[in-house]
Amino acid sequence: MTALLAAALLVPVAGCASGDGPAGPAATSSPPRGSAPATTTPGPTRSAPPDKGSATVVSTLTNDLKSPWGLAALPDGDLLVSSRDEGTITRVDAETGEQTRLGSVPGVAPAGEGGLMGLAVSPSYASDHQIYAYFTTESDNRIARMLHDERKPAGQQLGAPDTVLRGIPKGTIHNGGRIAFGPDKMLYAGTGETGDTGLAQDKASLGGKILRMTPDGQPVHGNPSADSVVYSYGHRNVQGLAWDADKRLWAAEFGQNTWDELNLIEPGKNYGWPEVEGTGSKPGFVDPVAQWRTSEASPSGIAYAQGSIWMAGLRGERLWRIPLSGAERSAEPEAFLAEKHGRLRTVLAAGGSALWLVTSETDNRGTPEPGDDKILRVEVK
């Protein structure tokens, strides 16, 4: 990676070069902010985790995955993983790593950073057997649900997509793509501004937002606007969503050339893009709880475990630990697994001290080696 040039000589790199894109000029690290925004929602006080933690890869569950992106757990613990570029969903046995193709998702149109991305399992899966997916079509990004029929042969287990939300702006960059059901059993989605920075501040657009909707794709009572699924705005490219033990929502966001962010999300708040990247301390905008140089992070998925947020880094090729005390960061973030497993796309809590971690070397931005891509089991504290 080339050395950092003097600021006066830097030529800004367009869009995703410091996010989901190839490595650009290296940047020196800067201490992230040590406090959360003043407007955070009060919650129960819990003891903070130790200042220092650990993360150890204990096994490889499965390998030879192609452009894996979304990851979700079925009630029995088995995993579902999406292939962004192939448009398929595969089941991975959580004990043996055996892969079973569920099927292809009709209408997926992979291009650039778009394709079949986030996955979520219905909170009522035991009765409705619905799998949700965020994907790119020829005209937009959208969220659809599909019936999963395990009785059918491999490759034929997905029903026709039932679109619950359409019209999310699409692009070859900054498509967002993470979806997850929250503790309230509502569906949340992180979107990107597709390189059109103005969309992030446009409350009428679904781009550059965090969205909250019912499982049917309708606005939820308690959203900032009763007739809108927009939950927060001013985002550049959100690909990480997770809730802590006190049901606070956290999100990871790609910066442009300077700062990546971890944000505590509150309804109706403005997270600054494109007016602010990283900490701006400007009225009306929420500052991040932590920030990183884009060369050290370029974050995609996040998960909560053992009192900390765990954040997967693509360009940074490392797993970050951000210990929390309530709505604030309790100690400096720590980096683990740096440059040992390549680009890291998705992290999912597996219960207790375990995480599932998905590598991302076959997404046309990495340098694949035999066996890529993989799902790793990681023990953390």
According to the model, what pLDDT value does residue 20 have?
57
| 3-class SS letters over 33-89 | CCCCCCCCCCCCCCCCCCCCCCEEEEEEEECCCCCEEEEEECCCCCEEEEECCCCEE
Per-residue burial over 102-125, b if 16 or more Cβ lie within 10 Å, else e, is: bbbbebbebebbbbbbbbbbbbeb
- Using one digit for the tens of pLDDT, what is the confidence trace for 280-304? 999 999 999 999 999 999 999 999 9
According to the model, what pLDDT value does residue 40 have?
43
- Using one digit for the tens of pLDDT, what is the confidence trace for 191-228? 999 999 999 999 999 999 999 999 999 999 999 999 99
DSSP state of 121: E
- pTM for the structure as a whole: 0.90
Which has the minimum average pLDDT: 7-21, 102-116, 172-186? Answer: 7-21
3-class SS at 16?
helix
Residue 19: pLDDT band by 50, 70, 90 thresholds? very low
Query: Which residues are paired to 291 by β-bridges?
Result: 261
3-class SS at 127?
helix
- Using one digit for the tens of pLDDT, what is the confidence trace for 310-339? 999 999 999 999 999 999 999 999 999 999
